[in-house]
Amino acid sequence: MSDTSSASPASSTSTLVASVASSPELKAISLEPLEVSEDDKAEALRLKTEANKAFTSHDFPTAAKFYTAAIEKNPNEPTLWCNRAYTRMKLEEYGYALSDATQAIQLDPRYAKAFYRRATCHMQVLKYSAAVTDFKKVLALEPKNDSVRAQLVSTQKLIRKIEFEKAIEMEGEQNPVERCREIIAEGGCDVDKGYAGPQLDLEDGKYKITYKFVKAMIQWFKDGKTLPKRYVWEIVIGAYEHFSKSDSLVYVELEDGVTCDVIGDVHGQFYDMLHLFSLTEEPNEKHYLLMNGDLVDRGSWSIEVILTAFAFKWLYPNYMFINRGNHETKDMNRAYGFEGEAKHKHGEQSYKGVGIGFGPDVTKKWCALNGVTGVIRSHEVRQDGYQIEHNGLCTTVFSAPNYVDQGGNKGAFIRIDSAGNQKYFQFEAQPHPPLKPMAYVQGGLGSMFM
């Protein structure tokens, strides 16, 4: 019952363009079958064909619109709801997808694929027990489906693992940064004498970061190598010291001649991030960078992404800014790969839910209340990399092109100058080593989170 999609070819361009149309809105769901004419059934089938073509081309917003139009013609057809559910999963509109899958089940209580779609939606929003219930429904209908049986077993193991971890967690547990410092002071995390990679400078017994180290570290990562655990800790602690001294809401003044680029989700796509930095420039006194959250998970180079960002924060604390996204959290890291990647590369857990939607009315009230002219947010894929929404008050920027190697979307960043003017730049995905997204998701569940 699995679904496969091919990745789009990578290229290297950047352009300045306008925005695209918004995602489909949720329609009211009727639980009672409606009378549908033969002409409307035929038109629904035609629209479904167009939707399937758009989906195959990874144009998920267009596919969703065609499925929506088909549903309006024939709301009694469960496959239309199920197909739109899968499309909305690709758009990461999981609440809508759950609703669509549920409607398909109500129309056909023996529709195994609809139960499977709903199960995978529950997995995406970390509702593992609900996913188990739906996996069991699939197996009741298709008892020989070994793939779903394996996913059920893996999900049950994941639930037991989470319950065990919660049981052993102690209230008032020591701050992990302080514990790392203690281990370092006790000599428990020294750099291996055989390490021959980039070297942090050591002054008066304390490590210092330099631009030379950062550039050498990036090349070290490109060569497929990892830093020693001690250096990883030093970079994280170096960034932490600056974060901990900052307010939760940071005000940044852009003086004349200074610009700031806002970067959206990167999601562990290290090679795309390096290309992005070649377009934005690295942070400096005349050009600031703001990474707007969701740096990790899904992509299989999340360690390289977060360490590069933290290294620049340690080196240039007044020019490099990093917001925390919903994927910089423990539960999401466990589900979407970063925790597994951290363990694989450095033997450490990542201790770091799912967003809520808001409409133009909320944006307008919030801007008026806080005296601002607009909001720049990330978190959701946009096919052109960015989209101006909510009557110009809200702009979404997404910087992970060809998301998880199958989105077919562009990446983008926004450049803001001292006068508040904004320019929008697009870029395409870059080639990377042959490692699939979600490579470090534990329990064999990686394909379900894509």
- Where in the sequence numbering do the catalytic residues fall? 327
Dihedral sign, Cα of residue 168, residue 174, residue 177, residue 178: negative
What contacts 24+ positions apart, CB below 8 Å, involve 372-378?
373/420, 376/262, 376/292, 376/414, 377/292, 378/264, 378/265, 378/292, 378/293, 378/294, 378/325
Residue 194: phi and psi, rounded to 5, are -85, 0
Q: How far apart are CA 267 and CA 398, in angstroms?
A: 10
Q: How far apart are CA 442 and CA 438, in angstroms?
A: 9
Contact 425, 18 (CB under 8 A): no
Dihedral sign, Cα of residue 122, residue 126, residue 128, residue 129: negative
Contact 266, 291 (CB under 8 A): yes
What does the block give as tokens for 227? 């830093």
What contacts 24+ positions apart, CB below 8 Å, involve 94-100?
94/121, 94/124, 94/125, 94/354, 95/125, 95/357, 96/24, 96/26, 97/121, 98/122, 98/125, 99/26, 99/29
Which run of H or of E encompasses 315? helix 302-315
- DSSP letter string over 1-17? -----PPPPP---EE--
Helix residue ranges, H only, 186-264: 211-222, 229-245
- First-to-final CA distance of the chain: 15
Contact 314, 209 (CB under 8 A): yes
Taking alpha carbons only, the member of 135, 400, 420, 397 closest to residue 258 is: 420
Q: How far apart are CA 89 and CA 55, in angstroms?
A: 12
Taking alpha carbons only, the member of 424, 420, 422 closest to residue 254 is: 420
Helix residue ranges, H only, 142-228: 146-168, 176-185, 211-222
Contact 36, 73 (CB under 8 A): yes
Instruction: With H, G, I as helix, E, B as strand and everything else as coil, classify residue 59.
Output: coil
